[in-house]
Amino acid sequence: MQRFTGGRPPYPQPDRQAAEDSARQSGATRTTASASAPAVEFTDASKSYGPVRALADLSVRLYPGETVALLGPNGAGKSTALDLLLGLRNPDPGGSVRLFGGTPRKAVTEGRVGAMLQSGGLMEGVRVHELVALACDLHPRAYDVDRVLASAGLTEIADRAVDRLSGGQEQRVRFALATAGASDLIVLDEPTTGMDVGSRQAFWASMRAEAARGRTVLFATHYLEEADEIADRVLVLHRGRLLADGSAADIKALAGVRRISFALDQAGGAVEETLRGLPGVTELELSRGASGGGTVRLRSSDADATVHAVYGQGFYPRGLEVTGLGLEQAFLTLTHRADGEQAVAA
């Protein structure tokens, strides 16, 4: 699960993590979604390409009915993890990836996995409905072709040649291919790239419906607002390691940083210096108004201590607001922090 170089992680883990770790240590079964057997199980899975360690000791389990977002900066190892999951590549010796208790190849052959990958063009010279029909023919538990076309929003362009589609339409065809049958696990690599707002909403509505039927949906994305809205679990990969695993709220809490803003009647250089020195303050911006007052926006790793100290220094803040970070800022805070730790360790 969450692994950090140098032993203990530098900040508290989400409750879910602790629960899973203690469940694993005690051999107990997990509660809620985890009461059933895992759909996906990575155990110490690593993958190196020559000298590049793209994935390092990934251990994580995904359960039926979970919608899981896989986040990470470019090169974090997301596509590599999905390749291992789909049996397109094997993990390095010592690690394993199991789907529904068997090999990825077995699960794929049995039609238990539907995948929508970034790469690879669509077959040329065929029409949309022909390609989707072929995918349905090949699926051991196929849906009706018209149903698949409709749920991917392709009915109106079913007669169009697949090499005459826009980027967003191509994505919808890939989505149709991934949902041609009743797969238990749906794997999506940056699925909504190029889709317009309407297509995205329809896409996620149909993914929610799949998860509600007990399917596991795993998607890699760079759109953090999608992860925030859609996923009930977020995995953050960074330099091949699992940096965080929890709900979007857990991830925001892990970042531990809050934004504080208020107005002051005074705003000189001495005020700014005093505010910068308060406990917990990591960033500060003071904009001065014409009246001599100013607006303060700061970030703090300990909002309670910062606010107490503001009053303790004799300031009278007006319009005080304390807010948490969005998932995007929390993600950046976590990954930058991990980069900083790696630089210190080096």
Ligand X SMILES: Nc1ncnc2c1ncn2[C@@H]1O[C@H](COP(=O)(O)OP(=O)(O)OP(=O)(O)O)[C@@H](O)[C@H]1O
Q: What are phi and psi of 32, to 5 degrees?
A: 45, -125
DSSP bridge partners of 297: 261, 285
> Which amino acid belongs to residue 158?
A
Q: What are phi and psi of 139, to 5 degrees?
A: -85, 130
**Which tokens is 72 given?**
């990470």
As a whole number of angstroms, the distance between CA 224 and CA 248 comes to 10
Nearer to ligand X, 80 or 169 (CB): 80
Nearer to ligand X, 50 or 93 (CB): 50
Nearer to ligand X, 92 or 130 (CB): 92
**Which tokens is 244 given?**
């965080």
Which span sits near ligand X by CB under 6 A: 8-16, 48-56, 262-270, 334-342?
A: 48-56
**Token pair 């509660």: residue:** 31
Nearest approach in angstroms of CB 48 to ligand X is 9
By CB under 6 A, is residue 52 in contact with ligand X? yes
Nearer to ligand X, 104 or 153 (CB): 104
Residues near ligand X (CB under 6 A), total: 11
> Which amino acid belongs to residue 26?
S
Nearest approach in angstroms of CB 180 to ligand X is 25
Q: CA 123, 128, 129, 132: dihedral to nearest 10 degrees?
A: 50
Nearest approach in angstroms of CB 51 to ligand X is 9
Nearer to ligand X, 162 or 237 (CB): 237
Nearer to ligand X, 46 or 300 (CB): 46
Nearer to ligand X, 78 or 258 (CB): 78
Which span sits near ligand X by CB under 6 A: 10-18, 46-54, 255-263, 316-324?
A: 46-54
Nearest approach in angstroms of CB 42 to ligand X is 14
As a whole number of angstroms, the distance between CA 330 and CA 254 comes to 8
**Which tokens is 155 given?**
């009915």
Nearest approach in angstroms of CB 198 to ligand X is 25
3, 28, 49, 285: which one contacts ligand X (CB under 6 A)? 49
228-234: long-range contacts, CB 8 A cutoff, minimum separation 24: 228/326, 228/327, 229/204, 230/67, 230/69, 230/204, 231/67, 231/68, 231/69, 232/66, 232/67, 232/68, 233/16, 233/62, 233/66, 233/67, 233/68, 233/69, 234/68, 234/69, 234/71, 234/327
Nearer to ligand X, 56 or 158 (CB): 56
Nearest approach in angstroms of CB 43 to ligand X is 19
Please report, as residue ranges, which positions from 1 to 40 form the binding site for ligand X (by CB under 6 A): none
Nearest approach in angstroms of CB 195 to ligand X is 17
**Token pair 């297509």: residue:** 199
Please report, as residue ranges, which positions from 58 to 117 form the binding site for ligand X (by CB under 6 A): 72, 74-80
Nearest approach in angstroms of CB 72 to ligand X is 5
Site of interaction with ligand X (CB under 6 A): 49, 52, 54, 72, 74-80
